[in-house]
Structure 1
Amino acid sequence: MALFSGNYNYVRDGANQALNRLVAFLEAQGCTVRVYSPTSDTPAFEPAGTLVSLPSFAIPGRGEYRVALGLPDRLKQDIQAFAPDIIHLSAPDPAAHATKKLARRLGVPVVASIHTRFETYFEYYGLGFVRPAIEVLLRRFYAGLDEVFVTSAGFGETMRAAGIISGQPAVWSRGVDKLRFNPVRRSPEWRWSLRIADDEPVIGFVGRLVLEKGLDMVAAAAAELKRRGVRHRLLVVGDGPARAHFQALVPDAIFTGFLDGTNLARAYASFDMLLNPSTTETFGNINLEAMASGIPVVAARAGGNESLVSDGATGALVTPGDVAGYADALGGYCSDAGRRAAHGKAGLAAAQAYDWDVINGAVLARYQAVVAAGAA
């Protein structure tokens, strides 16, 4: 298989880690995978598969991300020599558009996966006027493919309703490492080191600190809790270009910076609840990691959050932009430890169903069906 990614390992995020897990699984099943992506001299982690660098340029104002350019002749020849049975496109960039055309010329089945609400990002940076044009480009990109993968059935319906895709997409969900993310990681000692009292409710936020993650809504909810006199601490795990902006909005919050591995798992389990107001998530890996850690999730009623969080059972879903609604949900958990524990226990039970090997095995089975249909 040939996989095309806009960011395979030069920045660590949920989408590229899912792609790396998929490639590692495919190789463990005896598949050969060649990955084409922009690269960096300082990658965030080691890649799975054979990584081939695509020519790219840094996005102005967001230099940590890169856009892959078109497909040079040398890479077209590289693909033809590799002779993949199937091509998977995971970002609608110029290189992927060129690869889609090449695949059709070579008679190779081509599929794509949607990992984020890319078309909505521009609104967070005062560029909302370009969204209609971006949606036109996305419709063209996803048209005529042999398969489109989405992270949940609900998100697929959202994309169909927006006219971005047509037909019934396949679901490529996400799993969670339950050995890493689990309640036994909770550490009173770590909380004490951050000067958090045992009886002080901790609201956790995890993610790259970029505007599209809903940072302004986190700040507004925290300010409303403070105005109401609700005792709490906001604990922020992550880093990114909007950190200074965010810190100015929540001066009382604790910022740990980027955490990974068992340190990240310890942080999740040491929260008392997770706040995720992002409306751009197509699945919400952080929701699942929080559930596996035994804590309730307060999330926006949007995107992939609705496929994971059961309102009133494993957490609370709030209308996007409803500051009072977020404060109500968070304040309820802050004041009721028993409710926190019950919803955290229910989330832990629900998380057990999300197994990476089963999920990626379903993707492999779909690849095989697409290849067989093309051969027929």
Structure 2
Amino acid sequence: MADALAASLLHVLLGLELGSTAQGGNNRFSIDGLTLQPQGDGALEIGIRRFDAAALRVALGPLVLEIDRIALHQLALQLQAEAGRLRLRSGQAASAELFGVKVQGPLALPAEVQALPAGAAAAAGPWSLGPLAAADGTIRAEIVDAHLLFDADVTVPIRRGRVDFNEATVEHVGPDSRMGVSRLGVYVDAPNGRSYLYQFTCMPVVGAEFERRGAFLGARVTDRGHLQLQPFAEALLRQPAKGLGMGITDQARQLFDRTALSGDLQLGDGRFGAPGVQAELTGRAERRNAIRVHSEAVGRGISAEMASVSVQNALLDAGALQLACDQVTGALTLHVFVEGGDLRFVSTLANVKIVGLRLQPR
């Protein structure tokens, strides 16, 4: 009886049928402290002191969501009878705990995203990467048998959300190379000449301060240039999805399978926004929201880990349902990889705690 009621409640909440996380397994539910209070006009208010569910599997279009266990505390649902069926009017939970959450599927950005004129406010678009404005860290790459760079060790420091190519190093046998950014793109000056890793497809380039040369024509480079990560990354993401990779040169693509990557990046506090998602990252002073990236070969995939995620005022637009919460903490791992020529991802969440959860149908 409890399993049937719980499954019905989840179906009302999510509008989805559930499957099992394991072969031969079952979705398992338990309800403690159930109250039912009829309201006027066919409405019904349901109160649950504690709702537990385990071994859940939900298909969200091409994505698959699996949850080992979820617990909701002080759950209150307001349902409305429409055409002989109960529909969710609103829902709240004082807190929630999730364990063993996994989301996987194809990685794809919307085919068209909102394009903004240069200098427009970041908050006006769907992408807002405020935590990059104060990010600090270092990205390291080891390129084996590079065609133009030889075997190379690349170090790119990031300070207060800014890449200063004067501080970037490209070390290898013989004279070292130098990285920089010009009006054509991000380049490497090797002993045998300049080559571009990423070429800009349009001007102006938001967030870029280009290299500078001496007073005379053809004089040597005196400043290798800078990139402000937040405006630069936001501008890239606001391009149509089909154009995001157009600036990557053939030489860079050839290097990807021979490039190992590692790095650490401490994100700042600030607003994060993406299509369908809004949140505010907090806790930089406690070293929360630090990212560790790793890849044995960038061309085959890359992983990112966040051992301590701290988010406030999160809002998720899940199609017919909008979810909001006051605070989310936990740990996140994301792995992006190439399979059959397509990009796919697997994301896992551990020990997630949510405070002030609210659900509202659109």
Fold-level similarity (TM above 0.5): no
Question: Is the strand fraction higher in 1 or 2?
Answer: 2
The TM-score range, normalised by the shorter chain, is: under 0.3
State the TM-score, normalized to the length of structure 2.
Answer: 0.25
